[in-house]
Structure 1
Amino acid sequence: MTEAEICDIDPAFEAIEPAETRAPVIFNSPHSGRVYPPHFIEQVRLDLPLLRRSEDTGVDALFAGVVERGMPLMRVHFPRSMVDVNREPYELDPRMFDGRLPTFANTRSMRVAGGLGTIPRVVGEAQEIYARRLPVDEALVRIETLYKPYHRALRRLIASVHRAFGEALLVDCHSMPSMAPVREDRPRADIVIGDRYGTSCSPAVGDLIEGVLRARGYNVVRNKPYAGGFITEHYGQPQTGVHAVQIEINRAIYMDERTYRPTADFARLQADLMTLAEALARLPLDRAGDWRIAAE
């Protein structure tokens, strides 16, 4: 099996940049990929509707309008169930593979234990993806040909914006199921802002997002149950002028979770998110207390 057959997606991801970048804000949709290569489909034991439960369906479309507003959008086309770029590069469960993993692989993280490593073992409510073990070499091919090129492109984009503006804000865009697992003790909010408990970005960023979205009638919470994954933690270095924040959107407020089709509320949410994007574009990242001016 060749690399091309294993990872038969072209392009695997794309960075959509405006003709002129007018603000130091980058939007990223790492889990909205919905191109399922034939080789991958042959390996799995689940049908496509079940596999799609791990997709952030439609999130790239919700944020597509940022490009015409002068801000770049990065989006992935391969599915999260195949490779999850919001993980360390080698968070791998040895029970999934035939052969020895590299000695540097992280086999003991909580995400690996839950079946949600770089090559996920489960989707949805702990439903096993694969019918049998995967060759280790195939896992490494996926990482080398999909995961690593994506992160190289994202780093280049962040560096380019940071050079141009002296600062950069990465907005990592996700969606969440409306039905919470049993372990959560309350219904899920409409929006969850994740800033790694105040460590991945200026407090002004979360305050702005919360203020704009609450003003439009959304129920917004911070960091619970999602504080931000690898991307938010890894790229969010506010002391260097690079900020990162995660936004999780409750799928029930814009789509039918059974059919994966947008509802009549999709357009309203899309418009509200563009209002948010425009406010973030005006946010003075180097002055943490000035977000209210930017929002006016």
Structure 2
Amino acid sequence: MNAASTTPEWLHVHRGNAPLVVSFPHTGTRIPEELAERFVSPWLALRDADWWVHALYGFARELGATTVRSTISRSVIDLNRDPSGTSLYPGQNTTGLCPLTTFDNQPLYRAGAEPDAEEIARRRDTWFTPYHDALAAEIARLRQIHPVVVVYDAHSIRSRIPHLFDGELPQFNLGTAGPSGAPDTSCDNALADVVDNLCAMSGMGHVRNGRFKGGWITRHYSDIPGGVHTLQMELACRGYMDEPAQVDETNWPTEYDVARATPLRDTLQQVLRACLQFASRRDP
């Protein structure tokens, strides 16, 4: 069922009763009219969206999952960044709470039109806070029903972005807020192990806590003693859409490719079912 009518129109909340929340903070493609002229171009402001990810996980509702999705572009405000502005990846190239550049390090704003501290605070109040209020409320609601809840943060990114990482990204990038090869910190190792194994069995290429270890959502909402286990899945876009060697305004984004997405979607269905099984069988 849908959330109450008090939810902002840009925020889509579907309430299920299974012990699983799927978050979509980066699938939005809306630029508020009052901000549009400040960006270099509408296309550049939308290029780094997590294209079609909410469609890829369309089966989540059928599993009884709750979904929380923003339709506002991440270029306006990134809902998966620390609201204080602190970098989640110190020493690595990344983008901030209100990004000033694209993933390819191109300026997003016209000269002099960048958001100042007052504007960033306004955007936090307008979009960041309502999204996280809704996400926190859904987690709390489900914890009243279930002793354990899994929060699954769903993302995607182009396979090759030299400014952010070397070479081609693996298809599945599982983030549990732990150093590579070290114990997971945002969820029980048993949950991370089964998800990791399912990705490995797909034969598509996978990594655990590689370049993407989980953003602010994964790190902030984790409360293992309190029964909340979190993880992030960053997918390479090539698994469900065509990726041109060089993207530009004439060829990106490409359409969601149902046939290409089928093997990826099959694995993701197994992953979400595994999350449900873990939560159903686990005591906090």
Once the 2 structures are TM-superposed, how far is the Cα of residue 15 of structure 1 from its aligned partner? 1.4
Flag the structure with higher helix content: 1
Of residues 96, 120, 135 in structure 2, which corresponds to 1:117?
96
Hey, what does 2:160 align to over in structure 1? Answer: 179
What is the number of equivalent residue pairs in this alignment?
261
Whole-Å separation in 1 of the counterparts to 2:189 and 2:283: 10
Whole-Å separation in 1 of the counterparts to 2:170 and 2:161: 10
SS in 2 for 1:67: helix
1:214-293 equivalences under 5 Å are: 214-257=200-243, 258-260=251-253, 261-263=255-257, 264-284=259-279, 286=282
Whole-Å separation in 1 of the counterparts to 2:260 and 2:140: 36
TM-score, L = length of structure 1: 0.80
Hey, what does 1:14 align to over in structure 2? Answer: 12
Whole-Å separation in 2 of the counterparts to 1:110 and 1:207: 24
Once the 2 structures are TM-superposed, how far is the Cα of residue 124 of structure 1 from its aligned partner? 2.2
1:113 to 1:42, Cα distance in 2 relative to 1, 3 A: farther
1:183 to 1:160, Cα distance in 2 relative to 1, 3 A: closer
Residues 85 and 118 of structure 1 are in contact (CA less than 8 Å); yes or no, is this contact kept in structure 2? yes
Would you say 1:143 and 2:124 are equivalent positions?
A: yes
Of residues 164, 181, 199 in structure 1, which corresponds to 2:145?
164
Hey, what does 2:108 align to over in structure 1? Answer: 129
Whole-Å separation in 2 of the counterparts to 1:109 and 1:259: 28
Once the 2 structures are TM-superposed, how far is the Cα of residue 117 of structure 1 from its aligned partner? 1.7
Residues 50 and 124 of structure 1 are in contact (CA less than 8 Å); yes or no, is this contact kept in structure 2? no
SS in 1 for 2:233: strand
Question: 1:47-80, CA deviations, whole angstroms, 9 ceiling, x for partnerless residues?
Answer: 2332223211111111121112111111111000
Would you say 1:191 and 2:172 are equivalent positions?
A: yes
Hey, what does 2:248 align to over in structure 1? Answer: none
Residues 89 and 148 of structure 1 are in contact (CA less than 8 Å); yes or no, is this contact kept in structure 2? no
Residues 27 and 171 of structure 1 are in contact (CA less than 8 Å); yes or no, is this contact kept in structure 2? yes
Question: 1:129-188, CA deviations, whole angstroms, 9 ceiling, x for partnerless residues?
Answer: 111233543222111011001111100011111121011110001112111426745432
Once the 2 structures are TM-superposed, how far is the Cα of residue 230 of structure 1 from its aligned partner? 0.9
Stretches of structure 2 that go unaligned for 5 or more consecutive residues are: 1-6, 179-183, 244-250
1:144 to 1:280, Cα distance in 2 relative to 1, 3 A: same
SS in 1 for 2:282: coil
1:34-53 equivalences under 5 Å are: 34-45=29-40, 47-53=41-47
Q: Which residue identity lines up with residue 13 of structure 1 in the other structure?
A: L
Whole-Å separation in 2 of the counterparts to 1:165 and 1:79: 33
Whole-Å separation in 2 of the counterparts to 1:183 and 1:120: 14
Q: CA RMSD in A?
A: 2.5
1:87 to 1:193, Cα distance in 2 relative to 1, 3 A: same
Q: Which range moved further: 127-136 or 32-41?
A: 127-136
TM-score, L = length of structure 2: 0.84
Residues 115 and 126 of structure 1 are in contact (CA less than 8 Å); yes or no, is this contact kept in structure 2? no
Residues 209 and 276 of structure 1 are in contact (CA less than 8 Å); yes or no, is this contact kept in structure 2? yes
